[in-house]
Chains A and B, each alone.
Chain A
Amino acid sequence: MTEERDLSLLEALDHLLDRGVTISGHAIISIGGVDLIYLGLSVVLASVDTLTVVPAGMRRTIEGEADGER
């Protein structure tokens, strides 16, 4: 049940960050095809309490990426 909820949240985040109409506002969202917000999310997900929303199988990968970014 928890895993299902986690998956739903991840899917919702994936859609929010990577789908839909792209409109440029004041924020820089990508440079050279690299989505900075997406990258930032990987980093922040591994930091504080939000780690709990990441399914167990993904934690190591995201922690590794986060370490690499710092």
Chain B
Amino acid sequence: VSGEPRLLLLGAHLFPEDADVSGVTAFEAGGIVASAIEYDPDRPLAEPALIESAARARARLIEREIFVGVRYGATFRTREEVAAKIGSRAPGWRRLLEENRGKVELTLKIAGRGALRPAPEGVSSGADYLKQLHRLRRSEVDPAFRAAAEEEIAREAVAARWSDRHDGAVELALLVPRSEIARFRERGEALKSRFPSVAFLLSGPWPLEAFADE
């Protein structure tokens, strides 16, 4: 019914207490605990205050325990709808959350080069444009930096995964014990000292995002 609050899904958790956070609605959904914030459906999802409140709720949730992070934008009218939507994925998520309890994701993001579109005057045809576009968007990282990040950070993590972002950035997702976040930050600082010309950011803790795909 129009006007009734809707649920903006934030994530999936193993236990209700993992999602016991002020402003967050937690409920059983198809064999897993879902977390959501309630919002007025008349508010656009792109409204900054709504996005910010979701980001803050997510930050409070990851302070408690690992969860499967759901990308912003999944909204539902009822809890039953949430359960019907995520129920088939619940067994896999439960297993993932049991295996990774006490861990978090960190992200080392290396900035892209910025120029992501070919200059029109340098393009001879449509095919040429696409070739140039593909080349420009192929991410590149200083091999020495990549080797150092691999050696000093990735190898120390429980799991690590490199990926190219659509904005030209390259990302190293890390799964680490929560108790070792500070140690990884120190390693990131050391890397910054060794490679002052490489623009990168080590951030977190994040929920299961890169490591959440089944």
CB of A13 within 8 Å of the partner chain? yes
By the criterion CB–CB under 8 Å, are B203 and A11 in contact?
yes
CB distance from A58 to the nearest CB of B (A): 12
- For window 13-70 of A, CB contacts with B under 8 Å fall at 13, 15-27, 29, 36-37, 40-41, 43-45, 48, 50
Q: Tell whether, in the assembled complex, residue B69 and residue A41 are in contact, meaning their CB atoms are under 8 Å apart.
A: no
Interface size class of B (residues with CB under 8 A): 35 or more
Q: Least Cβ distance of A54 to chain B in Å?
A: 11
- Which residues of chain A have C-beta atoms less than 8 A from B73's C-beta? 17, 25, 27, 29, 37
A41–B44 CA distance with the chains assembled, in angstroms: 11
- Contacts A8-B203, A23-B86 known; A17 to B71 CB distance under 8 Å? yes
Measured CB to CB, the closest approach of chain A to B99, in angstroms, equals 16
Q: How many A-B residue pairs have CB under 8 A?
A: 100
Q: Majority SS of interface residues in chain A?
A: helix
A19 to B105, CA, bound (A): 12
- The number of chain A residues with a CB under 8 A from chain B is 29
Question: Which chain A residues border B208 with CB–CB below 8 Å?
Answer: 20
Q: How far is the CA of A15 from the CA of B203 in the complex (A)?
A: 10
Smallest CB–CB gap between B97 and chain A, Å? 12
Give the shortest distance, in Å, between B22 (CB) and chain A (any CB). Answer: 18
**Do the beta carbons of A27 and B55 come within 8 Å of each other?**
no
Assess whether A25 is in contact with B75, with CB atoms less than 8 Å apart.
Answer: yes
The smallest C-beta distance from B144 to any residue of chain A, in angstroms, reads 25
Across-interface contacts of A15 in B (CB, < 8 A):
58, 69, 107, 203, 206, 209
Known A-B contacts A19-B69, A40-B44, A40-B46; A24 and B51 likewise in contact (beta carbons under 8 Å): no
Identify 10 new A-B residue pairs, CB closer than 8 A, beyond the known A11-B201, A44-B47: A8-B203, A11-B203, A16-B58, A16-B71, A17-B51, A19-B210, A20-B11, A20-B69, A36-B46, A43-B46
Chain B positions within 8 Å of A, measured between CB atoms, are 6, 9, 11, 44-48, 51-52, 54-55, 58-59, 68-77, 81, 85-86, 89, 107, 109, 201, 203, 206-210, 212-213
The 7 A-B residue pairs with the shortest CB-CB distance in the complex, in nearest-first order: A40-B46, A20-B69, A29-B73, A25-B74, A19-B209, A23-B74, A20-B71
